[in-house]
Every structure is written in C-alpha cells, then in structure tokens.
Amino acid sequence: MAQQDIRGPLPEGLARAVRETAADIAALLSSASDMTAPVPDSEWTVGEAAAHLALANELMADLAAGQERPYGDGTPQSLAAANAHALARFGQRGAQPLASMITAQADVFLGAVERAATPESTTDPVLVSPLGPMDRHVLASYLLTHMLGHGYDLARALKRPHMIDRTRVGLCMPFMLAVMPRVVDTSAAADLSVRYAIRLRGGTAFGVCLRDAGVHVSPTPPERPDCTILIEPVAFLLIALGRLHPWRAIGQGQVFAWGRKPWLAPRFPTLFTAP
C-alpha cells in the first residue's frame, strides 16, 4: 500500500465519517428529553457529556487551525482535571445549542484541514494535541475516535442505537496506533516480553511488541508472534476506550486467540490506559 501523503487530503472516508458522526450525535441530542439524565458508568449527565463534546470539537478545530491550546499533560488525571475546569467555565447544557456547536465545530475542523492541504502547502505542521504531537491526519482520526466514544455513552444514556461501525473503527486506527506507546501502563508491562499480532476481523492487522516496559507498535503484525488476537472491530474500539470489559467480549465470542502463548490475550488490554 502506498504511504498516505500527510500534506494531501484526509484518507478516503475520514472527513465524511467526522461530519456524519457529529450529525449522528446531534440527532441523539434532539431526542433527549432530560439533559440531566446520568450517563452510565460515568460521573457526567447527558448535558455535561454533550458540553464536553462541544468544547472538545472546538479545541480540535483550533488545533487544526494551528492555534496552541494546552490541555493537560496527556495523563488521565490531568485530562480529567482539564475537562472539569472547562465544564465549570462553560454553562451551556441545552440539547439544541450543544448539538449545533458539535456539528459546527466539526465543520470548522474539516475546513482548517482542507485549507492546510492546498497545493501551496509544502509542509504539514506538527500539532500538539492533548495526547501528544500529531499530524492533521492523525488528529482527524483522534477527533473521530473521541466523538465515537462519547457518542456511544450518549446513546446508552438515551437508550438509542450507537453510531460505531466497522468502517468508522478502521478510520480510528491511525490515532489508536499512534497513541498506544503513549498510554502504555509501564507497571503492568514491566515483566512482560511478548509479540502480539492484533487482527480486526475484516480490517486492520498490526503488531505490538513489549519488552522492558516499553512498547513498539507496527502497522503490520510481527513474524512468529507469541499471541495472535482476532477481534471484532467494534469490540476492539469499545475495549480500547474502556467502554467494554474484555471478558464480556470474550464471553460473547467477539475475541479469539491462538499461538504459542494464547493465555496472554486477556492481558493485552490491561497493558494500556484508555485515552
């Protein structure tokens, strides 16, 4: 496969997925009768989760335009503190205003990315995101991943179908692969030396090699992996984002493992902290 020119347009389907996911979230909010309803497995209400999405889309749009927007240091604790501070300063909790802001800022983001991809652009600047430096393509994948995670939460809270599917998961993978070394739990990986091959059913395959609490992620599986994991794409994303317990996915037949050390499969998701 030819390498994507990071100075050119976004990978096929990514801009559409960003725009459509924002629209799906807006449609969810249009069905909300109570913005104070709790989000399952979260301290936030529907209104707070929607406000966070609106603010995050605005943040991503500013970053895509080249603005500097410090937002924590990438650790879960600092991101949680930054989220709490931002929500405390932003009082909007209405469904329609937040839905409009989410879609509008997604469009602003895509507009900034499109302007940066003009023929006159000779370099692709490194953009500093809340999870480290990224190019525009990875940042767009990050935006999509973030919206899908919180869109899933809102769908659960409102008892509506979620918007995650195999195609959108595939478009999240540039961000997922880029961020994995940053979110490895060094204490959990301290005693582990293993080569994983991760295969999303019908989609991406990649490698994760751990040694001495460090991690190397490759866009192709390693030769002679110790453990190969085959997983349904939606289950992979939900596990990676901390929305689905791995054993539940295993019990539902969404995960299979084989190789010389298949017993290391359940340990894989515990080696990372959900971004």
The structural domains of the chain, with segments of one domain joined by +, span 14-173, 183-271
Q: Is the pLDDT of residue 264 over 50?
A: yes
Q: What average pLDDT does range 55-70 have in this prediction?
A: 95
C-alpha 187/C-alpha 212 separation (Å) is 10
- Percent of all residues in the chain with a pLDDT value above 90, rounded to a whole number: 83
Q: Buried b vs exposed e over 24-56: b needs ≥16 C-beta within 10 Å?
A: bbbebbeebeebeeebeeeebbbbbbbbbbbbb
Contacts of 125 (CB under 8 A, 6+ apart): 66, 116, 135
pLDDT of 199 higher than 80: yes
Rounded CA separation 150/22 (Å) = 11
Confidence of residue 213 (pLDDT cuts 50, 70, 90): confident
pLDDT, position 3: 44
pLDDT of 5 above 90: no
To the question of domain 14-173 being in CATH 1.10.10.10, the answer is no
Q: Which residue has the higher pLDDT, 124 or 18?
A: 18
Q: Which residues contact 75 (CB under 8 A, 6 or more apart)?
A: none
Which pLDDT band, with edges at 50, 70 and 90, does 214 fall under?
A: confident
Query: Tens digits of per-residue pLDDT, 128-178?
Result: 999 999 999 999 999 999 999 999 999 999 999 999 999 999 999 999 999
Residue 266 clears pLDDT 70, i.e. is over it: yes
Average pLDDT over residues 244-268: 95
pLDDT at 54 over 90: yes
Q: What CATH number was assigned to the domain covering residues 183-271? A: 3.30.1050.10
